């Protein structure tokens, strides 16, 4: 019985320490003044949040007003003092904008 209680205490302590790390995300608010396409989805102009978690390979772009979201591949840049900077790169052609990537 003591072994079970000890194992349970270790599991709970591990969860308390690890779960906040897994939930940690970095977020930036950006304004996009035009309709654009990202991963085949048409996205409206407006305010967006760029969320990136522990994985540095992708991010989620979320339209603040509608909740519409799209996952995109990215590379990450840093600003002053390690601040996260998200820069969106668009290609334009024929009056249409396509999100090419995010750094």
Q: How does pLDDT run across 87-100, given as a tens digit for each residue? A: 888 999 999 999 98
Give the rounded percent of residues in the chain with a pLDDT score beyond 70: 59
Report the predicted TM-score, pTM, of the whole model to 2 decimal places. 0.64
3 state DSSP class of 90: strand
Place of tokens 């996205």: 43
Query: Can you list the alpha helix ranges (DSSP code H) found in 1-103?
Result: 2-23
Domain ranges of the chain: 25-102
Interior angle at CA 58, CA 34 and CA 70, nearest 5: 40
Q: Which residue has the higher pLDDT, 98 or 24?
A: 98
CB 61 within 8 A of CB 87: no
- DSSP secondary structure code for residue 14 in this structure: H
Instruction: Look up residue 28 and give its two tokens.
Output: 């930036």
Instruction: Look up residue 84 and give its two tokens.
Output: 């996260």
CB 51 within 8 A of CB 63: no
44-60 pLDDT, tens per residue?
999 999 887 666 677 88
Taking Cα atoms as reference points, which of 76, 47, 49, 45 lies closest to residue 60?
A: 49
């Amino acid at each position: 019985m003591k072994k079970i209680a000890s194992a349970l205490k270790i599991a709970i302590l591990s969860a308390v320490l690890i779960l906040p790390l897994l939930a940690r995300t970095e977020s930036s608010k950006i304004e996009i003044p035009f309709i654009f396409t990202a991963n085949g989805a048409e996205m409206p102009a407006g305010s967006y949040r760029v969320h990136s978690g522990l994985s540095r390979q992708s991010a989620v772009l979320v339209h603040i007003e509608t909740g519409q979201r799209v996952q995109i591949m990215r590379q990450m840049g840093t600003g002053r003092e390690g601040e996260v900077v998200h820069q969106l790169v668009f290609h334009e052609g024929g009056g249409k904008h396509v999100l090419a990537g995010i750094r």
